Each structure stands twice: as structure tokens, then as C-alpha cells.
């Protein structure tokens, strides 16, 4: 039997996953990893809706908390996302938050986030600050390709 995805319905949007891109000035925080299907890619801090996620912002906050290896307090992440709007991709059923980085995140040395996810040691990745004007030349995860023009001009 195929695995069914958890979803959240928010503003009539069917959402299966959510993520966050934190920014500070022209810098954005992205994860960089080898993807089995897309090669070496850059992507937001995000992932799938889980059963315990009541709201979209909870999914995005939990995923960012996990991918930052629980270095930044969950409450810091959630409070920056809770009242924010997201960009919705109907094709991937994805909600992407673009949020000004709380000072804790911007001031943390990215090496503290490690080279793999704490909850999944099979995923090797780096978290790094990238100049948002480089988005046009980076190999982005497909869910980000459709919104990269918005990311370049937001801040």
C-alpha cells in the first residue's frame, strides 16, 4: 500500500511540506547537499508535514529547528514565523516562508550546524549564507526555481 502524505489545509491551500529561508540584507541561509535525483543542490530549511503539525508554521519551524541541529531554540524560530505569510507552490504543495533572520541565527557560526542532520545521519549537508544575487547561477531544488525571482527582490 502506498504511503499517504500528511497534509494541512490552510487558506484553501493543500500543503504537504513547508520550509523557511532566513535572510539578512543580501544574504540568505540555505542548505547545500547532494540529492539523489537533482545532484548537488541548494534548498531551504524544510520538509514534510508530520501528524503532530497542526499549522503550516509549525511544520516550517520544526523542520528548520531540526535542520539547524537544534542549535537555535525552537521558540526563536517559531516566533519569527508564526505571524508571517508564505509563498505557496501549488505544483509541489509547498509553503515557503521568507523571514528576516533572528539575531541568534545570523550571529551563529554556520559550522555549529554541523555537516549532517541530527535526526537523519544519512543526510550530509552544509548550511551556509549565500548572496541572494547568486541564486541565478546555483543549482536550486526545483521547488525554489519557480520563486527565485521573488527571493532576489524581497528583503
Gap between the terminal Cα atoms of the chain: 44
Q: Would 3 be classed as within a structural domain?
A: no
Q: Would 21 be classed as within a structural domain?
A: yes
Per-residue pLDDT reduced to its tens digit, 97-116: 999 999 999 999 999 998 88
* Whole-number percent of the chain with pLDDT over 70: 96
User: According to the model, what pLDDT value does residue 118 have?
Assistant: 79
Per-residue pLDDT reduced to its tens digit, 62-100: 999 999 999 999 999 999 999 999 999 988 899 999 999
> What domain count does the chain have?
1
User: According to the model, what pLDDT value does residue 38 have?
Assistant: 86
Judge whether residue 125 has pLDDT over 60: yes
Confidence of residue 146 (pLDDT cuts 50, 70, 90): confident
- What's the predicted TM-score (pTM) here? 0.91
* Whole-number percent of the chain with pLDDT over 90: 63
Q: Would 1 be classed as within a structural domain?
A: no
Q: Would 106 be classed as within a structural domain?
A: yes
Confidence of residue 2 (pLDDT cuts 50, 70, 90): low
Q: Would 118 be classed as within a structural domain?
A: yes
Q: Would 149 be classed as within a structural domain?
A: yes
Please give the residue range of the domain that contains residue 89: 8-153
CATH for 130: 3.90.79.10
Mean of the per-residue pLDDT values of the chain: 90
Mean pLDDT across 27-45: 92
Write b or e for each residue in 51-70: b if 16 or more Cβ atoms lie within 10 A of its Cβ, otherwise e.
eebebbbbbbbbbbbbbbbe
Amino acid at each position: 500500500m502506498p504511503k499517504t502524505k500528511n497534509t494541512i489545509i490552510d487558506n484553501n491551500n493543500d500543503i504537504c511540506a513547508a520550509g523557511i529561508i532566513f535572510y539578512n540584507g543580501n544574504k540568505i541561509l540555505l542548505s547545500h547537499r547532494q540529492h539523489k535525483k537533482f545532484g548537488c543542490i541548494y534548498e531551504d530549511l524544510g520538509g514534510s508535514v508530520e501528524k503532530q503539525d497542526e499549522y503550516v508554521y509549525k511544520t516550517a519551524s520544526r523542520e528548520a529547528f531540526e535542520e539547524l541541529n537544534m542549535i537555535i531554540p525552537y521558540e526563536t524560530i517559531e516566533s519569527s514565523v508564526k505571524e508571517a505569510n508564505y509563498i505557496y507552490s501549488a505544483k509541489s504543495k509547498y509553503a515557503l516562508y521568507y523571514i528576516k533572520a533572528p539575531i541568534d541565527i545570523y550571529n551563529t557560526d554556520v559550522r555549529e550546524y554541523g555537516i549532517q542532520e541530527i535526526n537523519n545521519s544519512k543526510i550530509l549537508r552544509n548550511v551556509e549564507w549565500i548572496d541572494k544575487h547568486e541564486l541565478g547561477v546555483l543549482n536550486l531544488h526545483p521547488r525554489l526555481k519557480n520563486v527565485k525571482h521573488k527571493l532576489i527582490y524581497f528583503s
